[in-house]
Amino acid sequence: MLLVQNIITHKEAYIKGLAKRNFDAAPVFDQIIALDEKRRATQAQLDNTLADSNKLSKEIGILFKNGEQQKANLLKEKTSQLKESSKELAVTLQKTQDELVQLLYTIPNVPHASVPDGQTEADNEEVFTAGEVPKLAEGALPHWELAKKYDIIDFELGVKITGAGFPVYKGKGARLQRALINYFLDKNIAAGYKEVQVPHLVNELSGYGTGQLPDKEGQMYHVTGDDLYLIPTAEVPITNIFRDELLQAADLPIQYTGYTPCFRREAGSYGAHVRGLNRLHQFDKVEIVRVEKPEHSYEALEGMMEHIKEILNELQLPYRVLRLCGGDTGFVAALTYDFEVFSTAQDRWLEISSVSNFESYQANRLKLRFKDAEGKNQLAHTLNGSSLALPRVLAGILENYQTEKGIKIPEVLVPYCGFDYID
């Protein structure tokens, strides 16, 4: 959530920046500034009314002490009127504050200056590529056919148990899943991230804290009986660890990693691009989250990217990195890089990770602050990234590593799997 004072101070720059998202901020900013002026005026009026009431209360006490009961009773009538006025002003103030916050929730984060113009994923900027695309034998299969051939993932059984988008992993498929999770966690821990296990359901405040609510409410599974939400990513519970916290400068940076299943009610179209593991309603993911001082957050973002590159290099998967354009950047992010692995059998790129800097946008919602060297409270910067999401990594491994003998396991995963091939 943007700070009102920053909107006032940087109004024109923010309007220009948000235009990259095709978001017309000018009329919304005018409403926010008007509401903030009303809030300030109402607060000043309330403060003055309360001060007058307190002053009269002291005078009434003196009058009663001096035996001037008639004068004291007259003043009591005035204090009653002031108390009634203060109640009305308090109600107006609260209503104005609520309207202001709800309006602020509708404004996305201002894109970083490096975010390219553009409205769709076709306008994203490729900034890095690595790895060689393997040449597969004639008749190479997509991962959903390989899963059926080797009986390692059962999509139809998942439909029977739950519905489309809830696969069942079997045998070596399940063991490969577990191997990937452990490998990702070990890599993250070795890079300085502290492992945490967090709840898979969150309350409404947590959803608002990281920006899933109200923007992505329709994409989350809602347990209505308890008013809880199944998490779309571990970012939500991990980042909310720090909601309403005042940290010390010496506490930063904070680096956490965690594995969770993720649940998303994404509506999908039909076709090969959403078949198999390409789009799921439940999937596994290992996340990395950082809390940083503002002056270090973009250096931290680069470090997170290099860390994910190292993982993909070890898996020996061909991949690329995209800087997302304004129209494709998520609602709460200031800058996002997407990692995509190349699926040889499908002849297309598959997104496997998004790494984002939210600057102070989430922290303002979370009321996540730290005390700087001068003793002043500042909003921290938050960052997160997938390290990594399993479904499309697994799809890339199955398709790119298929051989006549079977599916070769990447060398780095063999100690975690306990086998060299799926055959």
pLDDT at residue 267 in the model: 55
85 assigned ligand-binding residue = no
- Is residue 124 marked as binding? no
Where in the chain are all domains bearing CATH 3.30.930.10? 121-422
Residue type at 84? E
Q: Just give the CATH number of 121-422.
A: 3.30.930.10
Could you say which residues of the chain have pLDDT below 70? Answer: 267-273
Answer yes or no: is 266 a known binding residue.
yes
Q: How far apart are CA 371 and CA 293, in angstroms?
A: 10
What pLDDT is stored for residue 64 in this prediction?
76
pLDDT of residue 273: 64
pLDDT of the residue at 218: 84
Residue 122: other Cβ atoms inside 10 A: 9
Residue 403 annotated in ligand binding: no
Residue 79's pLDDT is: 83
Is residue 310 a known part of a binding site?
A: no
Domain boundaries for CATH 1.10.287 within the chain: 4-104
Q: Has 351 been labeled as part of a binding site? A: yes
Is 62 marked as binding a ligand?
A: no
- 265 among the known binding-site residues? yes
Angle at the Cα of 419 from the Cα atoms of 418 and 423, rounded to 5 degrees: 150
d(CA 361, CA 211): 9
Known binder of ligand: residue 178?
A: no
CATH class of 4-104: mainly alpha
CB atoms within 10 A of CB 400: 25
* pLDDT (0 to 100) of residue 54: 84
Query: Is 264 annotated in some ligand binding site?
Result: yes
